[in-house]
Amino acid sequence: MRARARIVSLRGVAMKIPEILVIETIHKPGSLARVLQVIGDAGLTIEHLSALKRDSGRTLWEITVEMDEEADRSLYERIGQLPIARFVGKSDRVFNRHRGGKIRVISSQPINSSQTLRDVYTPGVARVCLSIRDNPQAAHEYTALDHTVAIITNGTAVLGLGNIGPLAGLPVMEGKAALFADLVGINGVPILMTETAPARVVEIIAGIEMSFGAIQLEDFAAPECFEIEQQLRKRLAKPVLHDDQHGTAVVTLAALINGARNARLDLRASIVGQIGLGAAGNGIARLLFAYGVHEILGTDLSGDAMSRFKALGGRGTTLEGIMQHADIVVATTGVKGLIRPEWVRKGQVIFALSNPEPEIEPVVARERGAAFAADGKGINNLLAYPGLFKGALDARAPRFTDQMLMAGAEAIALFAGDELVPDPLERELHQKVAEAVRAAAARA
């Protein structure tokens, strides 16, 4: 989940990014444990560990750790000083997976004869062009329109990195496109723009929308993202969705359905507190109201964000006020440690969703009496957006409705079983979400 910072400025705060260390150890008991102890003593979290090869009594390891710019790099030297280990260097695994890009366009059928060429290109294609001219609806059957989504960004709010520009955000867009293709067979087309003024952004997208069956807005900063999405939804007769708002909201609602059940709370009758009212927080609050939650408290340092929240029907308060009165607390601020342990009330449900560091660690919240607590590591937008778009495109829906979003959330919650949320790489999950969204669109 990509929660936007709102409570305090994150300017200058270092983001934790995985680094992959390559370390060789002598193959004997305790060697690896001593290396891991050095890493642990440095205060670093190990995300992944794998053995690359074993040869001549030595093992080569890849150890993935989370490190920010301020982390002490003398760690490498301390590992190298161990008599049983050698620091080899850093792995290029992540860069290698990106080399040449993560996506490509391929033909849906082999073009291996002159007749096939004449059919799919000139002169045969002219017949199809004229058919679509006479009946524009034929484009749904004879083009890839119903399987193609534009993934558009101006790079003003990329992951937790902020306004790094559209070109630097392209790897994220390619990642989305690769996941669309792999999980639900949709063509995702990354589109980068340098424009940031909402009116101009809307005009540019409206000028190219005919190429796509749906529009996914990605990594547009608040508050501009609200106006951009609102205007596009008015102008375009096709599904438009800002993933940072609504994808986040769908996955959060799914997790809250299961989290409230585990804590034996009635979600709709509970008082929900939303800490942080940027793109993610606003989207969550809006969908919770649509789902039937009666009372939502909210707080944000931005006066505009608070006004927007109150217009939804929310009640403004302070951070401390939310912790004192809310049964369920959702935090999307990007501020590590924002929620003090002593503020946690017995029986609360707390979702501290900022990545990579939550507002409060779930284990700490539970130790202080929370009935249920979770962070944003598993509550990932990937659970929602492939199935949301697949279902909307299959239904040829003119827009995303709240009913479609809620149907997607309920499908995710149901598929999770006894877990909070399911594994996002479960392909059956995305088909279930698509089916639920398609059915909800048909009922609209």
Enzyme catalytic residues: 121, 176
* Residue whose pair of structure tokens reads 């009330």 in the numeric block: 345
Our measurement of the distance from residue 57's CA atom to the centroid of its chain's CA atoms, rounded to an integer in Å, reads 43
Phi and psi, residue 234, nearest 5°: -75, -35
Q: How far is CA 15 from CA 18, 241, 334, 439, in A?
A: 10, 27, 10, 40
Bridge partners of residue 264, in order along the sequence: none
Our measurement of the distance from residue 5's CA atom to the centroid of its chain's CA atoms, rounded to an integer in Å, reads 15
* Residue whose pair of structure tokens reads 């400025």 in the numeric block: 9
Q: How far is CA 275 from CA 26, 189, 300, 396, in A?
A: 49, 34, 7, 36
Q: Alpha-carbon distance 142 to 366, whole Å?
A: 55
Tokens standing for residue 138: 């034929």
The CA-based dihedral angle spanning residues 36, 41, 47, 49, taken in that order and rounded to the nearest 10 degrees:
-10
For residue 194, the number of C-alpha atoms closer than 13 Å in the C-beta half-sphere is 0
Q: CB burial class (10 A; 0-12, 13-18, 19+) of residue 81?
A: exposed
Q: Alpha-carbon distance 348 to 26, whole Å?
A: 48
Q: Alpha-carbon distance 243 to 348, whole Å?
A: 28
| SS3 assignment, position 438 | helix
Q: Alpha-carbon distance 195 to 440, whole Å?
A: 35
Taking phi over 0 as left and psi of -120 to 50 as alpha, with beta for the rest, 328 belongs to: beta
* 123 sits in which H/E element: none
Q: What would the DSSP string read from start to end of 27-68?
A: SSTTHHHHHHHHHHHTT--EEEEEEEEEETTEEEEEEEEEE-
Q: Alpha-carbon distance 64 to 90, whole Å?
A: 10
